């Protein structure tokens, strides 16, 4: 103490300030037996104590961790400075946190105890208790956190009901747990998969549940109460519980209550063996602030009601498919709703029972452009009693569903897990008029109005919605009797076309594309094994081109289409040559690349075009191709790169006026196409700025000087024939031109993958 008494106060403050900052965490740390922290608990204790001074990532080594940790509020967290706990390998199967909870007080594996900006990613969790299934607990105002790409496994045969058996639980704590995100998780078992629970006067904002998979929960897959600005989208729910209960929140895949503001329920695929698919109760009933949007969902509840809503204002229900097969439950049930629009939905009851219960409704209700189907029996129940038929429904007062349609029998591909109309169903249910409020989606993107019903409007077509194409590979004269037909289509966001299937060609030329994945357009590519034939597309051309794609008018039909092979018919010999190099480039300027592409087919055709091809070759390990002994004329060069949207077709004249174009180099830009390419201007100027080629005209010896590294020299005549080719390892080359005839020649230098051509006269 005597020492510190002699130091200035400012120095002491600086000393302790620096010490404190240095103690904070920043950067990447490992958790494991040989890591920076031996256990999860040690890492969390350090985080709680020291806080952070920058972004922190805890990489957890593969192992099973029998631990329970609580992440408390820590200093330094911000929108840019966050904390991530993740598997070191990125594989969620490698890290397992497993420990049963002894009581309700410790019903968690990780507690987010008022902390912010924490992400938990790529981790597996497991419990076996039938009473306490808590894996993640958010409490005391935990906000702006992410639970992403994790797997949670709990028993489905739980005993206790309520929060104690919730796998992920945002707990009533007297503070708001909000702006949390639950993304791409797999949640199996438990009483409830995710619970988001605010309180009266403490409505929580901005929570997001997206791209998750729920399975085998006993009571609900997802429960949300006292929420606003809530998004539930792109989830898949397989709710199998068939336990019977009279309480409406039980046995519901998605139970939502006491909501305020905007709520989005979008593009979810829900199956419920229980009583309800989605159950919404009380949306700001006394003073509507904003709206609930239920759009683009597939909801199947064979033994119950797919969609139930009551005591709510401002509900927009559009572009959904609702299915049940219950002889005592309506497919959709509404009670005391106001300011509601129900448009562009497909509503099916696969039994002779009512489709709709519509009672206690307010005056501002609109129904239209919907599709309905049941197998007879009453159509609906409203305040006036039973509505016997669809025509009675449409002729009522006020007039409802003026533009809607009815079909007494509607069959889905799978009544439980994917409500896609079976091939052959009449296409009467189309998106017609969007609700004005749905002209754009939740992110402000304009919605398409051209998609037909495929279970839920605007959803991606499932792979099993198929088409059949068959025929012969023949032009009427020549028939290809060996090889294969490959099918390409644009079915993803990739810049390349996707290969869907490859089928063999029979000995009589027959091909069959049976139940291929549906797409709007196909490219059928003929791959011969007969050396007399050439790789070609279905209409006999050689290029990818969207104007030449095979379009289907109906995805359910079978098509018969003969496709045309191409045959090689060599020309007479000549004295011209054509060659070049094909390399990879990363930019859109098509600068000559340095990575050669071997194994590409390069095809040569004579112009004017004929049905047959002159020659085919393949690039070597250096990306080099060569055609020799060609007669004078006009030619087309085609390079076939698998799946690229547009192949190169390059035309060239071989005659006495041919110049350097007789050497055609190409660049492949995988984000675009193949095109002729040239060296970058700046790099070419820098590399060749000091080069001397003299004398010119030359009579005997030609000198090439002042190149700074190894270079390649190729000299061609005006026909493209190579008269000299050599690699030089020093900066000066001496070439004897005594054997060359008088005329014009081209000296082509290749230095570090960049080329430049000089014209000389002898």
**273-289, pLDDT tens digit by residue?**
888 999 999 887 665 56
- 170-198 residues labelled b (16+ CB within 10 A) or e (exposed): bbbbebbbbebbbbbbbbbbbbbbbbbbb
Residues 225-230 have a mean pLDDT of 94
Radius of gyration of the chain (CA): 35
Nearest to 154 by CA among 210, 193, 211: 193
Looking from the CA of 285 toward its CB, the CA atoms found within 13 Å total: 14
In this structure, the strands spanning 744-751 and 711-717 are antiparallel
pLDDT tens, residue by residue, 22-49: 578 999 999 999 999 999 999 999 999 9
Which range has highest mean pLDDT (468-482, 564-578, 709-723, 748-762)? Answer: 468-482
In the predicted structure, residue 552 carries a pLDDT above the cut 50: yes
User: How many whole angstroms separate alpha carbon 148 and alpha carbon 185?
Assistant: 6
Residues 335-362 have a mean pLDDT of 87
Q: What is the pLDDT of residue 737?
A: 87
Cβ neighbour number for residue 241 with a 10 Å cutoff: 23
Q: What is the pLDDT of residue 421?
A: 65
Confidence of residue 12 (pLDDT cuts 50, 70, 90): very low
In the predicted structure, residue 560 carries a pLDDT above the cut 60: yes
CB-CB contact of 163 with 196 (8 Å): no
In this structure, the strands spanning 356-359 and 332-343 are parallel
Which range has highest mean pLDDT (250-254, 621-625, 695-699)? Answer: 695-699
Q: What is the pLDDT of residue 664?
A: 63
Of 258-262, 577-581, 683-687, 750-754, which range is least confident?
683-687
- Pick the more confident residue, 166 or 756: 166
In the predicted structure, residue 481 carries a pLDDT above the cut 60: yes
User: 37 in helix, strand or coil?
Assistant: strand
Of 196-205, 556-565, 622-631, which range is least confident?
556-565
In the predicted structure, residue 235 carries a pLDDT above the cut 90: yes
pLDDT tens, residue by residue, 647-680: 556 677 787 655 444 456 666 654 444 445 544 4
**The dihedral of CA 728, 729, 733, 736: what is its sign?**
negative
- Please state, for a pLDDT cut of 70, what percent of the chain lies above it: 75
Q: What is the pLDDT of residue 185?
A: 95
Strand order in 466-472's β-sheet?
A: 510-517, 466-472, 558-560
Q: What is the pLDDT of residue 759?
A: 81
In the predicted structure, residue 382 carries a pLDDT above the cut 90: no
Q: What is the pLDDT of residue 453?
A: 37
Nearest to 411 by CA among 442, 375, 439: 375
Residues 510-538 have a mean pLDDT of 83
User: How many whole angstroms separate alpha carbon 427 and alpha carbon 440?
Assistant: 25
In the predicted structure, residue 520 carries a pLDDT above the cut 80: no
CB-CB contact of 282 with 314 (8 Å): no
Nearest to 585 by CA among 710, 713, 714, 678: 678
Q: What is the pLDDT of residue 183?
A: 94
Please, what's the largest Cα pairwise distance for the chain? 109
In the predicted structure, residue 713 carries a pLDDT above the cut 80: yes
DSSP per-residue letters across 370-399: -EEEESSS--EEETTEEE-SHHHHHTSSS-
Is the N-terminal amide bond of 217 cis, ω within 30° of 0? no
Confidence of residue 189 (pLDDT cuts 50, 70, 90): very high
- Pick the more confident residue, 420 or 439: 420
Q: What are phi and psi of 248, to 5 degrees?
A: -70, -20
CB-CB contact of 87 with 114 (8 Å): no
Looking from the CA of 712 toward its CB, the CA atoms found within 13 Å total: 7
Q: Which two tokens stand for residue 651?
A: 């035309």
Residues 232-236 have a mean pLDDT of 91
Confidence of residue 355 (pLDDT cuts 50, 70, 90): very high
Question: What is the rounded average pLDDT for all residues in the chain?
Answer: 80
**The dihedral of CA 685, 687, 690, 695: what is its sign?**
negative
**Ranges of H-type helices in 330-442:** 390-394
Residues 6 or more apart whose CB falls under 8 angstroms from that of 120 comprise 84, 85, 86, 110, 136, 145, 146, 147, 148, 150
Helices (H) and strands (E) in the chain, counts: 5, 65
DSSP-derived secondary structure letter, 688: H
DSSP per-residue letters across 242-303: ----SSTTTTEEEEEEEEEEEEEEES-EEEESSSEEEEEEEES-SS--S-EEEES-EEE-TT
CA 379 to chain centre: 40
How wide is the angle at C-alpha 599 spanned by C-alphas 593 and 603, nearest 5°? Answer: 95
User: How many whole angstroms separate alpha carbon 437 and alpha carbon 457?
Assistant: 16
User: 557 in helix, strand or coil?
Assistant: coil
Residues 579-605 have a mean pLDDT of 69
CB-CB contact of 69 with 47 (8 Å): no
Q: Which two tokens stand for residue 75?
A: 């200093």
In the predicted structure, residue 241 carries a pLDDT above the cut 80: no
User: 165 in helix, strand or coil?
Assistant: helix
In the predicted structure, residue 230 carries a pLDDT above the cut 90: yes
**Ranges of H-type helices in 24-151:** 40-50
Q: What are phi and psi of 12, to 5 degrees?
A: -65, -40
């Amino acid at each position: 103490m005597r020492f510190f008494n002699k130091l200035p106060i400012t120095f002491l403050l600086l000393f302790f300030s620096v010490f404190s900052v240095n103690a904070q965490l920043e950067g990447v740390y490992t958790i494991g037996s040989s890591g920076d922290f031996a256990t999860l608990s040690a890492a969390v204790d350090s985080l709680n104590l020291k806080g952070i001074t920058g972004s922190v990532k805890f990489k957890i080594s593969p192992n099973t961790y029998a631990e329970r940790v609580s992440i408390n509020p820590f200093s330094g967290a911000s929108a840019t400075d966050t904390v991530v706990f993740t598997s070191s390998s990125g594989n969620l199967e490698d890290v397992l946190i497993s420990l049963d909870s002894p009581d309700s007080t410790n019903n968690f594996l990780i507690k987010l105890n008022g902390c912010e900006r924490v992400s938990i990613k790529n981790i597996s969790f497991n419990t076996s208790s039938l009473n306490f299934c808590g894996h993640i607990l958010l409490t005391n105002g935990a906000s702006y956190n992410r639970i992403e790409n994790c797997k949670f496994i709990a028993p489905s045969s739980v005993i206790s009901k309520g929060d104690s058996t919730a796998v992920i639980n945002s707990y009533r704590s007297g503070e708001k747990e909000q702006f949390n995100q639950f993304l791409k998780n797999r949640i199996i078992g438990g009483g409830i998969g995710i619970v988001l629970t605010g309180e009266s006067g403490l409505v929580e904002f901005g929570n997001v549940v997206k791209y998750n998979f729920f399975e085998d929960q006993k009571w609900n897959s997802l429960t949300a109460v006292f929420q606003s600005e809530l998004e539930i989208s792109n989830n898949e729910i397989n709710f199998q519980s068939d336990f019977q209960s009279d309480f409406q929140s039980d046995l519901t895949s998605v139970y939502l209550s006491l909501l305020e503001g905007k709520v989005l329920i979008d593009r979810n695929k829900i199956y419920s063996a229980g009583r309800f698919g989605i159950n919404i109760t009380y949306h700001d009933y006394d003073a509507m602030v904003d709206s609930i949007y239920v759009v683009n969902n597939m909801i199947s509840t064979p033994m119950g009601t797919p969609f139930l809503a009551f005591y709510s204002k401002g509900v927009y229900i559009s572009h959904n498919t609702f299915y049940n097969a219950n002889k005592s439950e309506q497919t959709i049930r509404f009670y005391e709703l106001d300011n509601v629009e129900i448009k562009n939905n497909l509503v099916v009851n696969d039994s002779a029972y009512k489709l709709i219960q519509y009672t206690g409704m307010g005056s501002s209700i609109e129904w239209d452009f919907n599709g309905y189907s049941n197998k007879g029996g009453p159509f609906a129940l409203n305040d006036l009693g039973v509505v016997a038929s669809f025509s009675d429904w449409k002729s009522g007062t006020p007039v409802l569903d003026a533009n809607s349609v009815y079909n007494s029998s509607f069959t889905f591909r799978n009544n439980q897990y994917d409500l896609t109309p079976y091939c052959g169903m009449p296409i009467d249910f189309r998106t017609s008029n969007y609700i004005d409020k749905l002209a754009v989606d939740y992110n402000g993107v304009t919605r398409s109005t051209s998609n037909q019903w495929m279970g839920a409007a605007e959803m991606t077509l499932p792979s099993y919605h198929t088409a059949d194409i068959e025929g012969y590979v023949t032009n009427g004269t020549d028939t290809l009797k060996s090889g294969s037909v490959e099918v390409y289509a644009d079915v993803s966001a990739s810049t390349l076309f996707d290969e869907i299937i490859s089928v063999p060609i029979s000995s009589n030329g027959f091909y069959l594309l049976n139940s291929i994945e549906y797409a709007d357009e196909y490219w059928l590519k003929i791959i011969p094994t007969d050396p007399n034939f050439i790789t070609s597309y279905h209409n006999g051309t050689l290029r990818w081109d969207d104007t030449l794609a095979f379009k289907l008018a109906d995805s359910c039909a079978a098509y018969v289409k003969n496709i045309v092979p191409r045959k090689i018919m060599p020309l007479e010999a000549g004295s011209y040559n054509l060659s070049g190099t094909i390399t990879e480039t990363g930019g859109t300027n098509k600068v000559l690349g340095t990575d050669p592409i071997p194994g590409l087919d390069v095809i040569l055709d004579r112009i004017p075009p004929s049905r047959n091809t002159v020659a085919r070759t393949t690039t070597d390990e250096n990306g080099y191709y060569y055609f020799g002994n060609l007669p004078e004329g006009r030619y087309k060069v085609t390079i076939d790169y698998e799946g690229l949207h547009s192949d190169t077709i390059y035309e060239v004249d071989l005659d006495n006026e041919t110049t350097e174009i007789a050497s055609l180099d190409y660049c492949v830009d995988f984000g675009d196409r193949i095109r002729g390419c040239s060296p970058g201007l700046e790099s070419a100027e820098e590399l060749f700025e000091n080069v001397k080629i003299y004398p010119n005209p030359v009579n005997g010896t030609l000198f090439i000087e002042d190149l700074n590294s190894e270079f390649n020299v190729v000299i061609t005549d005006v026909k493209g024939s190579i008269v000299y080719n050599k690699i030089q390892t020093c900066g000066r080359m001496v070439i004897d031109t005594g054997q060359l005839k008088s005329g014009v020649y081209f000296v082509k230098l290749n230095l570090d993958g960049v080329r430049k051509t000089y014209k000389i006269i002898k």
